[in-house]
A and B are shown apart, each in its own frame.
Chain A
C-alpha cells in the first residue's frame, strides 16, 4: 500500500502539480516487445482486414468471426486475459497499441473491441474461478465470441434504470430473466451475452448468458449510419433460464461492473480513434498529392495545407494524451502481484484512479477523429462523398464514438463531477487549492524569465490554464453547492477547460522529452506552439462562459481581470507553422510523427 502511494501519481492531480517530462510515458518509449506487437497488429490489419473492408461492411456471413479467430491465433484477442486462462496478461500500453492499430478498421474494430473489451473484461475482473476457466480460454482464441448488453430501449445513458428483471426459481437453480436489451454489438454472431438485469426488480446484477439458453433470442440487424460491418441487435429474454452459477459478481452490485468496464472501454476507444485518424490523414495527404486542380496538386494550396496540418496536430496531441495515460495506469498496475487473490480488485482500483483521465480521453479523442474525418472528406471534394473512396466510410464510422461508452455529454458531466467528489473526500486538494489561489490570482503574474527554454511561454500558459480550471471549478462549487449538477452548461465548459489543459500539457511533455533525448525536430515544436496558441484561446472563451454564468457585478469584473491576466499572450504566426507541419506531412506521404 505504501509503495503504491509512493510510486503513482493521483488521478486528476495533473491540475495541481507539474510533471517532469522524463516521467511521462510517450510513444517514443515503447519497448522492443511493444514495437513488435504493433508490427504484428499492423501487418495483420493491413494484409488481412483492410482489403476486406467492403465485404465486412456488407456483413458477409462468417467473415468478421473468421477474422476474429485469426486474430486470436496471433494473441490479439487476449492481451488483457491472464496467462493462466490462455491469455497474454500484458500491460495496458500493449492493449492500447493493439486497439490503436485495429482502430483503422472501423466496423471490425468495434467487433474486436466489443469482444475483447466489454465482452471479456467483466469475466476477467469479476468472474469466479469456474467462470474464468469456462469462458476465458474460448474468448482468447475466438472459439466463442462475446457481447455486452447494458443498454435497453428505454435506458441508455441512464443505464441503471434498466427494466429487465431476474427471478430465482423455486428450486434455487436458475434465474428467470425477462426483458429486452438494445444495441448489443456482436449480437449476430456472439455465443455469450454479458447481460444486466434487476433481481426481483431492484437489485441490479450481471449475468453470463449463453446463446443456447432457453428463452434467449436476438432481433434482426439494426440498419446503422456507420460501422455497418459490425453486428448490432436487440436481445430478447423471454423467461430465459440462466443457471445460478452464471450470476457474475455480487447480487445488487452490477453497477460496479458496468462502471469499471466503462473506464477501460473509454481509454481503449481513445486509442482506437487515434489509430483511425492516422489512417485518414495518410489517405488524405496521398489523395491531395495526386489530385490536380488549376494545374497543380491540391496539396500545394494553403487551405488544404491548413487542414492537413490541423489534422496532424490534433492527432499528435491525442496520441500524446493516450499513451501518457497508459503509462500512468501501467505504473500502478505493475506493482500488483497477479497471483494475489485481490489482483482483479486492485487492477480495477488502479484504473479507476484515472477515471477522470479516461473520460477526458474518450471525449477529446472521439472529437479529434470527427474533426479529422470531416476535413478528410473535404480534401477529397466530391470524391469524399462517394463510397468508392475510403474517407466516406471513415466519416460515417467515426460518428458512433461520441455516443457509446457513455455519450460525450455524460462524460463531460462526469469529469468535474468526479474531481469534486474526490476533493470533498479529501483525496484531491482541488478545493483547498482553489481557496489558496483566489488571493494569488489577482497579483500580477511575473514577467517571463528570459531563458533559452523554447517552451517558456507555453509552460506559463499551461500552468495558468490549471489555475483557470481550479478557479472556475472552485467558484462553481462554491456558488451552486449541492445543486451544481443542475448547471450542466457550466460543468461542460469546465470540462472543456480541463481537457484542453490535459491536452496541452501532454503534448508539451512528450515533445520536451523527445527533444531532450534526440535530434531537434522543429515540426514538433511547431505542433506544440500552434496547439497551445489555439487551446489557450478556447480555454479563455470557455472560462468566460463559466464566469459570466456564475457571477456578476464586481465579482465578475474581478474574475474577468484574473482571466485576462492568466491568458495574456502574444499570439504567434500559426499560418507559417501550419504550412511547415503540412509540408512535412506532404513530404512523408504518411502520418509519421
Chain B
C-alpha cells in the first residue's frame, strides 16, 4: 500500500512572533521553524503502518524551499520518499489542499496522514478539504487506529470522551496527540536522509478564495487585581464581573 503523510513547516512554538511590516504576515527573521508537532504523530503512524502492513511511504509538503528541512526530518525518521510542491507565495487552505490532492492522486496513495492542525494558522481544515477533493473517507482528531484489510477502526477524541468510528480505504486520517509516541530520528536515519533526493514540483495552480487582511497580536493580558481579602470584597467582585468583564 502507498502511504502518504502531509506536513507543514511552522514557527517553533517557543518563538516570540513579531508581525511583519505589511501587517498581514509574520516577520520571519530570527524565527526558528520546526516540523508541525501534530505532523510528527502523522509521520510516526505512517511508519508504524508500513512496518505492520508493508508498502511505501511518501511525505509531501506545499511551500517554499525552507520546507525541505521538515521533509528531510521526515526522511530521517524513516519515510521513504519526499516531494516538495513548490510555491513561494503563501496559499490559503483550499490552495494547499488542491495541490496536495493532486499529488496524492499522482502518487496513488490510499492512506494519507495529516496532523489534526497546523500550529501556525490553526485552521484545522486541510486534511478534511483534501479528502473532499479526492473523494476519500476522512476521520479527524484520531487517537487510536486499527487497519484490517480495507477496514479502518479509529478512535477520535471528542468533548469529554471518545468516539469509535469505522470506515474504509482510501482514507485520510488526521492525527491527535496520544495516537503514538513519535520516534527520534536515529543517526543512521539522519545520515541516510542526506543521500535521498527531495523531488520538487510546482504546486498545482489555485486561485485564492481567502485573503489575509490583517494580523493582530492578542490584547495584552491585564495584571490580576486583589479586591480585598474578606467578604466585603464580594459585592465589588460581582459588579466587576458584570460590568467590566461582562461574563455574568
Binding site for B on A (CB under 8 A): 32-33, 36-37, 39-40, 43-44, 73-76, 78-79, 88, 90, 519
Contact = CB atoms under 8 A, between A and B. Distances in A.
Interface stretch (B96-104, B127-135, B182-190, B205-213): B182-190
B73 interface: yes
Contacts of A73: 186
Contact of A75 (B29, B72, B73, B186): B186
Interface in B37-87: 69, 72-73, 76
Q: Which 8 A-B pairs have the closest CB atoms?
A: A75-B187, A40-B184, A36-B190, A74-B186, A88-B187, A75-B186, A40-B185, A43-B184
Contacts of A44: 184
A291 B190 CA distance: 41
B191 A519 contact: no
Contact of A79 (B69, B73, B76, B187): B187
Given A33-B194, A519-B29, A519-B30, A40 B187 contact: yes
Contacts of A90: 187, 191
Size class of the contact patch on chain B: 10 to 19
A105 B152 CA distance: 43
Nearest to A94: B187
B188 A88 contact: yes
Contacts of B187: 37, 40, 74-76, 78-79, 88, 90
5 contacts: A40-B185, A40-B186, A40-B187, A90-B191, A519-B29
Interface string B187-219: 110110110000000000000000000000000
A37 B29 contact: no
Contacts of B186: 40, 73-75
A142 to B, nearest CB: 13
A39 B69 CA distance: 13
B29 A40 contact: no
A79 B190 CA distance: 12
A37 B194 CA distance: 12
A43 to B, nearest CB: 5
Q: Which of A32, A36, A88, A90 has the most CB of B within 10 A?
A: A36
A589 B4 CA distance: 38
A79 to B, nearest CB: 7
Contact of A33 (B30, B184, B191): B191
A40 B72 CA distance: 14
A88 B190 CA distance: 10
A277 B69 CA distance: 29
B230 to A, nearest CB: 23
A571 B63 CA distance: 51
A39 B72 contact: no
Contacts of A75: 186-188
Given A36-B193, A78-B187, 12 more contacts: A32-B69, A32-B72, A32-B194, A33-B190, A33-B191, A36-B190, A39-B185, A40-B187, A74-B187, A88-B187, A90-B187, A519-B30
B33 to A, nearest CB: 12
A79 B188 CA distance: 10
B30 to A, nearest CB: 7
A145 B4 CA distance: 40
Given A39-B185, A75-B186, A88 B191 contact: yes
A82 to B, nearest CB: 13
A36 B30 contact: no
B185 A36 contact: yes
Contacts of B185: 36, 39-40
A40 B30 contact: no
Q: Which of A37, A76, A78 has the most CB of B within 10 A?
A: A37
A40 B73 CA distance: 10
A588 to B, nearest CB: 9
Contacts of B190: 33, 36-37, 40
B221 to A, nearest CB: 17
A44 B186 CA distance: 10
Contacts of A32: 69, 72, 194
A519 B18 CA distance: 16
B188 A36 contact: no
B5 to A, nearest CB: 17
B91 to A, nearest CB: 25
Contacts of B30: 519
A213 B135 CA distance: 67
